[in-house]
Structure formats: C-alpha cells, structure tokens
C-alpha cells in the first residue's frame, strides 16, 4: 500500500517523468534529487525541474512470475531497467509487448497506466510504464 499523501506528492514524477537537472554540471537525475552527488554543495539551489522526453532503451529486464500482493493476478509481467535519452536510468514495467519479444536495446516510450490500487475502496494509483516506441 502506497498511501494517498505520498502518491499525491509524487504525481509530477509519476505522470510526467519530472526529474531534476543540475544547474552546474548539467546531469539529469530521475527520480529527482535535491543535491547533485557530483557537484555537491555547489549544486544547492541550482537543481532545476527537468521533464524527461519519455524515450529510452531497455538496458536489462526480468520477467516477474511471483509478484508482490499488490500485483496479484497480473503476472507474468516484465520489469526493465531503462536507460533514458537524458542518460539517467529508471525501473518500470514493459507493457503491450509479448514477453518473448522484449529484448535488450529495445526502443521504448513512456505511457500512463494503472500501477496499483488500495483495495476496492481505496485510491487508484497511476504512473509511468513503458511500451515499444512507435517511431
């Protein structure tokens, strides 16, 4: 269970891939960081919101057969580490692609999907997943 407060706080990140860009060295971070680990104190106050393009490639992936309870009934599904165009990495599900067609180096793009829900009465949490790039 995620809780509505945390979900609400992370909406820009989860819906629109808003990360941070260091105003000193230009490196992009996702999820957002308050301080650049390279520039450290020099980056304080210079970390700017940065929207990722949503495009990337599959760097590695795994197929989940025994999911945590929140994802019950949805297995098997693929979870990949994706290298984004901006150089940062993130972990996300790959959807709308037969599991045997997913491969390292596959071009993917972000879409918004249901991630999980707090039971039948609770909130529904939406967020990014990735599918095969259209172009």
Partner 1 sequence: MAAIVGYGAYVPKYRIKAEEIARMWGKEPSSITSGLNVFEKSVPSIDEDTATISVEAARRAVKSSKIDAKEIGAIYVGSESHPYAVKPTATIVAEAIEATPDMTAADYEFACKAGTAGMQNCIALVETGMIKYGMAIGADVAQAAPGDALEYAAAAGGAAFIIGKEGIARINATVSFTTDTPDFWRREGQPYPGHGERFTGEPAYFRHVMGAAKMLMEKMGTSPSDYDYAVFHQPNGKFPLRVAKKLGFEKKQVEDGLLCPIIGNTYSGSTMLGLAAVLDVAKPGQRILAVSYGSGAGSDAFDITVEDAIEGYPRQGIRKMLEEKVYVDYATYMKFRREFK
Q: In angstroms, what is the minimal distance from the CB of 41 to partner 1?
A: 31
Q: Which of 94, 103, 77, 105 is nearest to 128 (CA)?
A: 94
28-29: strand order across its sheet: 28-29, 18-22, 47-51
Of residues 51-90, those binding partner 1 (CB under 8 A): 73-74
Query: Under the criterion CB under 8 A, does residue 133 sit at the interface with partner 1?
Result: no
| Cα–Cα dist 85/57, whole Å | 8
DSSP bridge pairs for 33: none
Q: Which two tokens stand for residue 112?
A: 């918004």
Distance of CA 81 to the CA centre of its chain: 9
Residue closer to partner 1, measured from CB, 61 or 128:
128
Q: Which CB sits closer to partner 1, 74 or 107?
A: 74
Report the C-alpha gap between 135 and 84 in whole angstroms: 16
The nearer residue to partner 1, 69 or 98, going by C-beta atoms, is: 98
**Is there binding between residue 4 and partner 1 (CB under 8 A)?**
no
Interface with partner 1, residue 21, by CB under 8 A: no
Contact region with partner 1 (CB under 8 A), list: 10-18, 25-33, 36-44, 81-89:
10-18
Interface contacts to partner 1, rule CB under 8 A: 11, 15-16, 73-74, 95-96, 98, 111-115, 124, 126, 129
């Amino acid at each position: 269970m995620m809780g509505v407060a945390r979900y609400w706080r992370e909406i820009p990140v989860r819906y629109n891939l808003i990360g941070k860009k260091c105003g000193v060295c230009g490196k992009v971070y996702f999820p957002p960081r308050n301080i650049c680990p390279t520039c450290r104190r020099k980056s304080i106050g210079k970390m700017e919101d940065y929207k990722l393009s949503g495009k990337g490639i599959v760097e590695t992936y795994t197929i989940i057969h025994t999911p945590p309870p929140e994802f019950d009934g949805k297995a098997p599904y693929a979870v990949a580490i994706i290298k984004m165009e901006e150089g940062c990495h993130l972990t996300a599900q790959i959807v709308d692609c037969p599991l045997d067609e997913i491969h390292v180096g596959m071009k993917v793009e972000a879409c918004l999907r249901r991630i999980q829900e707090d039971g039948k009465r609770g909130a529904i949490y939406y967020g990014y997943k990735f599918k095969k790039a259209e172009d």
